[in-house]
Structure 1
Amino acid sequence: MNILKEQLERIQVPDNIDFVIKKAIRKEQNHIVLRRGLTIFITISFVFTALFGTCYAYPKVANELAKIPFIGEVFEMFTDKGLKNASDKGLTNFIDLQETKGELTVAIKEVYYDQAEISIGWAVKGGTLAKNHLLPLFYYNDKCIGGGSGGEIPNNAEDSSYITSNIPVPKDLPDKFELRFIIRENNKTDGKEFEFIIPLDRNKSDSQSKKIDIMKTYKTDNRTMLIKDIVFSPASVAISFKFTHKLGEAYELSLIDKTGNPLVFKRATSSINDNEIKGDAVTEEGVAFFEPIEKIPEELVLSVLSADESVVLDSNKPVLMIMELKLQ
């Protein structure tokens, strides 16, 4: 893991608007690993090491945040290059929704929506994601479409946190709609609940995105992988898949271009229904997110690697499947 550093310039606070970090200059400094969030879609216990969010914060940033209650550019603080890229291109929306209940204040600050994902940047004052067991939930037309958090920057000195929550986009979600975003405190029987109505519109991101339908099945002796589609967006390369494999088999996904350059993994979600467990085999559907690339290549190679405990520390993990994805 690269040693990273980051320095934040002096924060200028306008008199008549909420606190916004205007400029940040990134340099090298030791990092701290964030709490890793697991999507609520995981309904069975199996090891998929790629399921965890991989966001990091830097000490200098955290120290500067102690001076301000809330900021606007939440995505800029995380190491998710895709969300930073989308924010830099003006494809995220800054909103100012805030609610206080007792000692807890929750503020929604930045949102992003494209064909593959919905991301919400928010802040909590008077608690933390972990301490208060805060569960973010996404609703469309009174139906829960996902939940969970991708990363957290805790600020223990101020008892506050800055958080990103991400979900894959379900089928048939409209280009423009009102999202009901609920943050629930789950560590108490009378836990607080914060509800926000957030307008989402992906027209701007769609102009810089492309979805390629694949619908190709790859098979080995005891595994079957259906690659449904790939979305290339300013925030990510997202691969939708359906995978049948041995129940309890631990694996992870790797994606490289034809020159052998790997695409950096971001996160993944997966769901399993009871009727998709048959004997010692299980079928799951999911989306794997990798960092975005500037140009769509002619092909990519997706590999399924073993993540069994006996090989998890081995840099040469056994390859379970290799799939060539023709894109042009």
Structure 2
Amino acid sequence: MDEMIRQEIYKEADRCPVQSIPWENIRDRIFDNTSFNTSFQKKAVIGKICCSFAAVVAIGCLLVMSGFIFPVIARALERIPVINAVFNFVEDRGIQNAMDKGFVTKPNLTATDKDISVTITGVLYDEGRIDIGYTVTTSRPDLSPETFPGDLIIPLGAPGMPGMEFFANGKPIQNTTQATCEKADNGRVGLVEIYPSDDLPEAFNLEVAIYQIGKEQGEWLLGPIPVSRKDTDAATRTFSPMKKETFGETSVMVKEVKISPLSMLIEYESIRPLTEEFYFSAVMDDKGNNIPQCASIRLSHQIKGDTKITVARLVCEAPKNIPEFLVLVPHTAGSQQQNIKIPLK
């Protein structure tokens, strides 16, 4: 974030002529108690920049003390993508990692219907998930987020009643989704996380269709948005432990672990009786720290006699560093818990 701000300031400064201001004016500006006071409260400015960063607060102080540079900084800050505010409030380590490495696609596409505007501010994409940051704004007083906080929420929808749909090169993306949003000045900022169950190409055109916002039905079509996971793929480490464990009548094989800057993918196969279910209740690193799970995607499923064979992908947040091993805590009915240690070599 600091580097992004610096780059924008340098770009803007190159466009601006240098204007000489007498020292007396600067001194009067500094000691003038009636000078403007820039308040960086998250609620007031989340639509412009993420105020959670100390660097931005420091720049705010410079705005007061250095009047001659204010126009340059102000215009630079206006161009800092809202994606930072959107992605940071969810406190996802993988998202922060990917942002720090510059893997964010920033389309800034807007669609408007019923005097409600939706803007896609940024997209992150790797093999395990697609994260879409967006804002919803309106000038309609009857949809004020202060008075009607639920009226600008985009529902994910249900079968036959879609709130949002996603397409890759014009084809629907089969997926599991979750979303979160937060109130802003004149609307909301939000994040949608898509966990595809189908293999998507390395690069494709993403399209987003929204049919309902709050109680308002309409049509907000955004795209095509060219997205690629080329950079995240290049930064991904792949491990093939092929570790097999047995729990009662259930056998599990951890086939592959992939760790990208955005997420960690654990692919495994379970073979179990028809009456039993299996999943991992926890994932930990080599220091015992919990690694949050995002989604579990079933890749294939078949029944042979009295046995179920399932191949699934567990999507987790990316760890801060690649650990020496993972500890997977299985949940199986009617058997004693036995953790699985997966070396990452």
SS in 1 for 2:339: strand
Q: Which residue is equivalent to 1:155?
A: 183
Q: Which residue is equivalent to 2:173?
A: 145
Greater alpha carbon shift after TM alignment, 224-233 vs 240-249:
240-249
1:237 positional shift: 2.0
Q: Is the 8 A contact 1:227 1:242 kept in 2?
A: yes
Q: Is the 8 A contact 2:93 2:320 kept in 1?
A: no
Indicate yes or no: 2:331 matched with 1:305: yes
Alpha-carbon separation, structure 1, partners of 2:269 and 2:278: 16
**CA offsets, 1:103-141, max 9 Å, x none?**
442211111122332221123346213498764333224
**CA offsets, 1:251-292, max 9 Å, x none?**
543222344x1332131132377x635677644443223332
SS in 1 for 2:312: strand
Q: Which residue is equivalent to 2:61?
A: none
Q: Which residue is equivalent to 1:121?
A: 133
**CA offsets, 1:34-74, max 9 Å, x none?**
xxxxxxxxxxxxxxxxxxxxxxxxxxxxxxxxxxxx93322
Greater alpha carbon shift after TM alignment, 210-219 vs 80-89:
210-219
Alpha-carbon separation, structure 2, partners of 1:289 and 1:239: 7
Query: Which sections of structure 1, spanning at least 5 residues, go unmatched?
Result: 1-7, 27-69, 309-317
Q: Which residue is equivalent to 1:111?
A: 123
Q: Which structure ranks higher in relative contact order (CA pairs < 8 Å, sequence separation ≥ 6)?
A: 1
Alpha-carbon separation, structure 2, partners of 1:182 and 1:136: 6
The partner residue of 1:264 within 265, 269, 291 is 291
Q: Is the 8 A contact 1:19 1:72 kept in 2?
A: no
Q: Which residue is equivalent to 1:35?
A: none
1:213 positional shift: 2.9
Alpha-carbon separation, structure 1, partners of 2:212 and 2:276: 31
Indicate yes or no: 2:318 matched with 1:292: yes
Total equivalences in the alignment: 262
Q: Which residue is equivalent to 1:9?
A: 40
Q: Is the 8 A contact 2:281 2:331 kept in 1?
A: yes
Indicate yes or no: 2:238 matched with 1:221: no
Query: Which sections of structure 2, spanning at least 5 residues, go unmatched?
Result: 1-38, 55-80, 138-150
1:211 positional shift: 1.9
Q: Is the 8 A contact 2:327 2:339 kept in 1?
A: yes
SS in 2 for 1:264: coil
Q: Which residue is equivalent to 1:326?
A: 343
SS in 1 for 2:290: coil
Greater alpha carbon shift after TM alignment, 83-92 vs 128-137:
128-137
SS in 2 for 1:93: coil
Q: Which amino acid aligns with 1:290?
A: C
Alpha-carbon separation, structure 2, partners of 1:217 and 1:145: 32
Identical counterparts, % of pairs: 23
Question: C-alpha root-mean-square deviation of aligned residues, in Å?
Answer: 3.9
SS in 2 for 1:234: coil
Q: Is the 8 A contact 1:147 1:165 kept in 2?
A: no
The partner residue of 2:52 within 24, 28, 32 is 24
The partner residue of 2:93 within 75, 81, 90 is 81
Q: Which residue is equivalent to 1:202?
A: 229
Q: Which residue is equivalent to 1:41?
A: none
Q: Which amino acid aligns with 2:166?
A: F
Q: Is the 8 A contact 1:137 1:148 kept in 2?
A: no
Q: Which residue is equivalent to 2:60?
A: none
Residues 163/256 of structure 1: CA separation in 2 closer, same or farther (3 Å cut): closer
TM-score, with normalisation over the residues of structure 1?
Answer: 0.64
Residues 169/278 of structure 1: CA separation in 2 closer, same or farther (3 Å cut): closer
The partner residue of 1:102 within 103, 114, 118 is 114
Alpha-carbon separation, structure 2, partners of 1:180 and 1:193: 11
The partner residue of 2:264 within 209, 214, 237 is 237
1:196 positional shift: 2.1
Alpha-carbon separation, structure 2, partners of 1:320 and 1:284: 20
1:98 positional shift: 0.9
Q: Report the structure number with the largest CA radius of gyration.
A: 2
Alpha-carbon separation, structure 1, partners of 2:314 and 2:134: 23
Alpha-carbon separation, structure 1, partners of 2:214 and 2:249: 42
TM-score, with normalisation over the residues of structure 2?
Answer: 0.62
1:203 positional shift: 2.6
Q: Which amino acid aligns with 1:9?
A: F
